[in-house]
Structure 1
Amino acid sequence: MEKKMKILCLHGFRTSGSFLKKQISKWDPSIFAQFDLVFPDGLFPAGGKSEIEGIFAPPYFEWFQFDKDFTEYTNLEECISYLCDYITREGPFAGLLGFSQGATLSALLLGYQAQGKLLKEHPPFKLFVSVSGSKFRDPSICEVAYKDAIRVKSVHFIGEKDWLKLPSQELATAFDNPLIIRHPQGHTVPRLDEVSTGQMRNFTAEIIRESIEKKHELENGEVKVDSEERKPEEMSKINNQEKSAMDINKRELEIAEAVKA
Structure 2
Amino acid sequence: MKNAAAIRYELGDSHTYEFIEGTIPTPMALEFANVASSTDEFFAYADFDDLASCLKALNQLEVYVASEGPFDGLLAFSQGATISATYLAHAQRRGVTVPFKCAIFFSTGGVFDVDLLAKGEISMLTPEDVGEVIQIPTAHIWGLNDSTVRSAAVAAVCAREKRQVFVHDGAHEIPGVRSPADVKSSVRVMRRVISMVS
Scaled to the shorter chain, the TM-score interval is 0.7 to 0.9
Supply the distance in 1 between the matched residues of 2:185 and 2:78 (Cα, whole angstroms): 23
Q: What is the 5 A alignment of 1:164-243?
A: 164=148, 167-177=150-160, 178-191=163-176, 192-193=180-181, 194-208=184-198
Larger radius of gyration: 1
Q: Which is worse superposed, 167-176 or 31-40?
A: 31-40
For 2:153, the aligned partner's letter is E
For 1:197, the aligned partner's letter is V
Secondary structure of the structure 2 residue equivalent to 1:95: strand
When normalised by structure 1's length, the TM-score is 0.59
User: Is the contact between residue 46 and residue 54 of structure 2 (CA under 8 Å) also seen in structure 1?
Assistant: yes
Q: What is the 5 A alignment of 1:128-143?
A: 128-136=103-111, 140=116, 142=124
Q: From 59, 62, 68, give the equivalent of 1:90.
A: 68
- TM-superposition CA deviations, 1:92-138 (whole Å, max 9, x none): 22222211111111100111111227xx4x65421111111022466
Supply the distance in 2 between the matched residues of 1:164 and 1:50 (Cα, whole angstroms): 12
User: Is the contact between residue 75 and residue 105 of structure 2 (CA under 8 Å) also seen in structure 1?
Assistant: yes
Q: Which runs of 5+ in 2 are unaligned?
A: 118-123
Supply the distance in 1 between the matched residues of 2:196 and 2:112 (Cα, whole angstroms): 32
User: Is the contact between residue 43 and residue 82 of structure 1 (CA under 8 Å) also seen in structure 2?
Assistant: no
Supply the distance in 2 between the matched residues of 1:50 and 1:160 (Cα, whole angstroms): 18
User: Is the contact between residue 88 and residue 98 of structure 2 (CA under 8 Å) also seen in structure 1?
Assistant: no
- TM-superposition CA deviations, 1:4-46 (whole Å, max 9, x none): xxxxxxxxxxxxxxxx21x211125352643321111113222
Q: From 52, 55, 59, give the equivalent of 1:77.
A: 55
- Residue equivalent to 2:142: 158
Supply the distance in 2 between the matched residues of 1:28 and 1:45 (Cα, whole angstroms): 26
- TM-superposition CA deviations, 1:221-260 (whole Å, max 9, x none): xxxxxxxxxxxxxxxxxxxxxxxxxxxxxxxxxxxxxxxx
Supply the distance in 1 between the matched residues of 2:141 and 2:28 (Cα, whole angstroms): 26
Supply the distance in 2 between the matched residues of 1:97 and 1:31 (Cα, whole angstroms): 12
Secondary structure of the structure 2 residue equivalent to 1:97: strand
For 1:26, the aligned partner's letter is A
Supply the distance in 1 between the matched residues of 2:170 and 2:145 (Cα, whole angstroms): 6
Q: Which runs of 5+ in 1 are unaligned?
A: 1-19, 209-261
- TM-superposition CA deviations, 1:138-180 (whole Å, max 9, x none): 6825469962411110110121111135x11111101012211
Deviation at 1:199, TM superposition (A): 3.1
Count of aligned pairs between the two proteins:
179
RMSD value, Cα: 2.9
When normalised by structure 2's length, the TM-score is 0.76
